[in-house]
Chains A and B, each alone.
Chain A
Amino acid sequence: MRILGLVLREIRYRRLSFALGVLSVAVAVGCLAAELAYLGRYGAARQAQIDAKIDATAAAMRRMEDDYRVITKRMGFNVQIFPRAQDLAEFHAAGHGTVFMPEENAEKLARSPVVSVQHILPVLQQKTAWPERGRTVILIGTRAEIPGGAGAAKKPVLDPVPAGAAVVGWCLHRDFGIAQGDRIVFRGRELAVAGRHEERGTADDISLWVNLAEAQEMLGLPGKISAILALSCQCEGAAIEGIRAEVAAILPDTQVIEYSFQAQARREARARAARARSDAVGGEESFAEASRRAWEEFAAALVPVVAAACFAWIGVLALLNVRERRSEIGILRALGVRARDILVIFLAKAGLVGATGALIGYFGGIAALRAASPAGVPLFSAGLFAAAMLGAPVLAMLASWLPALMAARQDPAAVLREE
């Protein structure tokens, strides 16, 4: 018979004491295992909720930002590119460009890697007579926006006017009673009315939009345009200086003006939308982080409390065990068993209490949690199980250390003499 045999026989003899020790460890380990598994599951579920909320918020904010973009886009083009020779004073006085440049400039700009302007649209614009109606109008020849080299095709700011068609400004269709689908004659050319603009309060109200090629023909300016219209993007370097630098690199014989009110409003609106999205998502992330931290703090506080209670209980049981076994210790010492072996006897028992309790407690806690909430959750954690199987015996031995030391140092003569 060896020391371990003695320990096992004593455990069998004092089953209740051993069971109480095992129970305390099992309860502690079970609580911790179940608690941590629950926290893990709760945390995962909560994180999923928060992630979904963040995604929903981000999507809503993106929609809002897109709405802003669309709304500000309706404000129209905010950049115009003219031939360098265009006198801007003359342009403002006439209400349209008076110097022309090749239409291919617009193609060249669209094909270039320029990023600060989009929605490239060549236009030919002239104030001219509408002899058939005895009015002066602004004739605007346009074509489809020229798509850039990169990115998806964008919805045009201005829909193209097909050949043989015209779009009529507010004053014109009001004064002449022109309806959609009517046919009108302009400078000897019959055109179908494809659209009518509502009142805008600008020179657009006396404008007539036709296909660019037809305008060039009517004005005797084949292949010519008076300006390139564009929309400044809301990206880095989209301020007017950046736009001018980029455009000058592609079209050195041009100049750029910006309709500052529209550009500024567009920039501010989109910046605010982006900020709102960032704030909303950031708020959700902060809440998620705070929530996760609170649960971690709770778990961190729970572990030492449960461990301390178990530690104290094991220590008390060990002390009672030592007191109960005074006579046994005395005779074992009298038989030549060393103090160190007495220490081992008590620590081995404590280790067995810890290991058995950890085994029962871990699987008991997990089983209880599974029974309470059968939802499929990864409850078993090899790391936690290993920690319990190592930590519980070590803790139990530490808790029993002092009583075991008292047993080892017990004076056998005192016991034998007393009895």
Chain B
Amino acid sequence: MLAAIELVKRYDGPRETVAALAGASLRIEAGELAIVQGPSGSGKTTLLLACGGLLAPDDGRVLVEGQDLYRMTPNERAAFRARTIGVIFQQYHLVPYLTVRENIMAAALAVSDARAGDRAHDLAARFGLGDREEHVPAALSTGERQRTALARAFLNRPRLILADEPTGNLDAANAETVLAALAEFARGGGAVLLVTHDPRAAPYGARTIAMKAGSIGAPA
């Protein structure tokens, strides 16, 4: 499903160039939930963004369902991402002026889907947001916000979900909900790349990938 091959990404610092990714490679198959762990600054988020087609590596390739993301034009990549990849972030990134339902539907802005509204309603119900559909993010709890972001990631029926510390701000119950949903997605044939420090995630992952200084170590 996802193959990252020898990814290199450097950032120019004030004094020196920092290699956020230094030849990182990984492969995640359909039906697999892989957990990436590593200390802060090890390149986890950079890896996730590169795998999502959001950050072009200086070197290396990213293949999703066999297609090289960075050989596509920006518009092709955006369309591909909208159809194929769901993303979840620690900070939720909900649009502040849209309701829960509209935030979930925001994922359909890039695709033409007449049934997006119905699916958004179903997803809201599935993640316990049925009575909060018309609320804006400011009126939600932290857990509700993350569940909204989770529902949004699922809207377009992606085959790959990239999650960056999705449980970082959540209590145990909400973390359980999020992790269970990701695991269920994987069991349904999807692939999940989960970047997290959260030890609660370990039981849900098929394998854990350790990152250090931009490189990926041996599977734990």
A-side interface residues toward B, CB under 8 Å? 1-3, 6, 9-10, 12-14, 327-328, 330-341, 412-413, 416-417, 419
When distances are taken between beta carbons in the complex, the residues of chain A under 8 Å from B110 are 335-338, 341
Known: A9-B102, A334-B52. 13 other contacts (CB 8 A): A3-B109, A6-B95, A9-B97, A9-B98, A14-B97, A328-B93, A333-B78, A334-B87, A335-B106, A335-B152, A336-B80, A336-B83, A416-B49
CB-based contact B102/A419 at 8 Å:
no
Given known A338-B75, A412-B54, contact A419–B97 (CB-CB < 8 A): no
Closest to B108 in A: A1
CB-based contact B78/A416 at 8 Å:
no
Distance to closest chain B CB from A16 (angstroms): 13
CB-based contact B109/A334 at 8 Å:
no
Taken together as a complex, chains A and B put the C-alpha atoms of A332 and B97 apart, in Å, by: 14
When distances are taken between beta carbons in the complex, the residues of chain B under 8 Å from A1 are 98, 102, 105-106, 108-109
- Provide the main secondary structure of the chain A interface: helix
Taken together as a complex, chains A and B put the C-alpha atoms of A337 and B93 apart, in Å, by: 15
CB-based contact A332/B109 at 8 Å:
yes
Q: Residue-by-residue, is B97-125 near A (CB-CB < 8 Å gives 1, otherwise 0)?
A: 11000100111111100000000000000
When distances are taken between beta carbons in the complex, the residues of chain A under 8 Å from B80 are 336
**Would you list 29 pairs from A and B whose C-beta atoms are within 8 A, ordered by A residue?**
A1-B108, A9-B98, A12-B97, A14-B97, A328-B96, A331-B94, A331-B95, A332-B106, A332-B109, A333-B54, A333-B78, A334-B54, A334-B81, A334-B93, A335-B82, A335-B87, A335-B107, A335-B110, A335-B152, A336-B82, A336-B109, A336-B110, A337-B109, A339-B74, A339-B78, A413-B49, A416-B93, A416-B164, A417-B46
CB-based contact A10/B97 at 8 Å:
yes
Taken together as a complex, chains A and B put the C-alpha atoms of A67 and B220 apart, in Å, by: 122
Taken together as a complex, chains A and B put the C-alpha atoms of A331 and B110 apart, in Å, by: 12
When distances are taken between beta carbons in the complex, the residues of chain B under 8 Å from A13 are 96-97
Distance to closest chain A CB from B118 (angstroms): 13
B174 contacts chain A at the CB level, 8 A cutoff: no
Taken together as a complex, chains A and B put the C-alpha atoms of A6 and B93 apart, in Å, by: 16
Taken together as a complex, chains A and B put the C-alpha atoms of A419 and B93 apart, in Å, by: 9
When distances are taken between beta carbons in the complex, the residues of chain A under 8 Å from B82 are 335-337
Closest to B75 in A: A338
Taken together as a complex, chains A and B put the C-alpha atoms of A179 and B67 apart, in Å, by: 134
B139 contacts chain A at the CB level, 8 A cutoff: no
When distances are taken between beta carbons in the complex, the residues of chain B under 8 Å from A419 are 89, 91, 93
When distances are taken between beta carbons in the complex, the residues of chain B under 8 Å from A338 are 74-75, 78-79, 110
Taken together as a complex, chains A and B put the C-alpha atoms of A331 and B91 apart, in Å, by: 11
B172 contacts chain A at the CB level, 8 A cutoff: no
B-side interface residues toward A, CB under 8 Å? 45-46, 49, 52, 54-55, 74-75, 78-83, 87, 89, 91, 93-98, 102, 105-111, 152, 164
CB-based contact B106/A336 at 8 Å:
no
When distances are taken between beta carbons in the complex, the residues of chain B under 8 Å from A331 are 89, 93-95, 106
When distances are taken between beta carbons in the complex, the residues of chain A under 8 Å from B81 are 334-336
Taken together as a complex, chains A and B put the C-alpha atoms of A74 and B91 apart, in Å, by: 108
- Provide the main secondary structure of the chain B interface: helix
Taken together as a complex, chains A and B put the C-alpha atoms of A337 and B108 apart, in Å, by: 9
CB-based contact B49/A417 at 8 Å:
yes
Identify the 9 closest CB pairs spanning chains A and B, nearest first: A336-B82, A13-B97, A336-B110, A331-B93, A413-B55, A413-B54, A336-B81, A413-B49, A419-B91
Taken together as a complex, chains A and B put the C-alpha atoms of A206 and B45 apart, in Å, by: 133
Closest to A2 in B: B109
Taken together as a complex, chains A and B put the C-alpha atoms of A333 and B93 apart, in Å, by: 11
CB-based contact B79/A336 at 8 Å:
yes
CB-based contact A337/B98 at 8 Å:
no
When distances are taken between beta carbons in the complex, the residues of chain B under 8 Å from A14 are 97
Taken together as a complex, chains A and B put the C-alpha atoms of A36 and B212 apart, in Å, by: 70
Choose from B46, B78, B83 the contact partner of A337 (Cβ within 8 Å).
B78
When distances are taken between beta carbons in the complex, the residues of chain B under 8 Å from A334 are 52, 54, 81, 87, 93
Given known A3-B109, A9-B98, A341-B110, contact A336–B54 (CB-CB < 8 A): no
Distance to closest chain B CB from A34 (angstroms): 35
When distances are taken between beta carbons in the complex, the residues of chain B under 8 Å from A413 are 49, 54-55
When distances are taken between beta carbons in the complex, the residues of chain A under 8 Å from B78 are 333, 336-339
When distances are taken between beta carbons in the complex, the residues of chain A under 8 Å from B106 are 1, 6, 331-332, 335
Closest to A12 in B: B97
Most chain A beta-carbon contacts within 10 A, residue among B80, B96, B164 = B96
Closest to B79 in A: A336
When distances are taken between beta carbons in the complex, the residues of chain A under 8 Å from B75 are 338-340
Distance to closest chain B CB from A110 (angstroms): 97
Distance to closest chain A CB from B173 (angstroms): 25
Distance to closest chain A CB from B66 (angstroms): 19
Choose from B52, B93, B107 the contact partner of A330 (Cβ within 8 Å).
B93
Closest to B91 in A: A419
When distances are taken between beta carbons in the complex, the residues of chain B under 8 Å from A336 are 78-83, 107, 109-111
Closest to A334 in B: B87
Distance to closest chain B CB from A262 (angstroms): 97
CB-based contact B89/A416 at 8 Å:
yes
Taken together as a complex, chains A and B put the C-alpha atoms of A310 and B204 apart, in Å, by: 57
Given known A330-B93, A332-B109, contact A416–B79 (CB-CB < 8 A): no
Taken together as a complex, chains A and B put the C-alpha atoms of A12 and B96 apart, in Å, by: 12
Most chain A beta-carbon contacts within 10 A, residue among B81, B93, B102, B164 = B93
Taken together as a complex, chains A and B put the C-alpha atoms of A170 and B152 apart, in Å, by: 124
Distance to closest chain B CB from A332 (angstroms): 7
Taken together as a complex, chains A and B put the C-alpha atoms of A13 and B137 apart, in Å, by: 12
When distances are taken between beta carbons in the complex, the residues of chain B under 8 Å from A416 are 45, 49, 54, 89, 93, 164
When distances are taken between beta carbons in the complex, the residues of chain A under 8 Å from B108 are 1
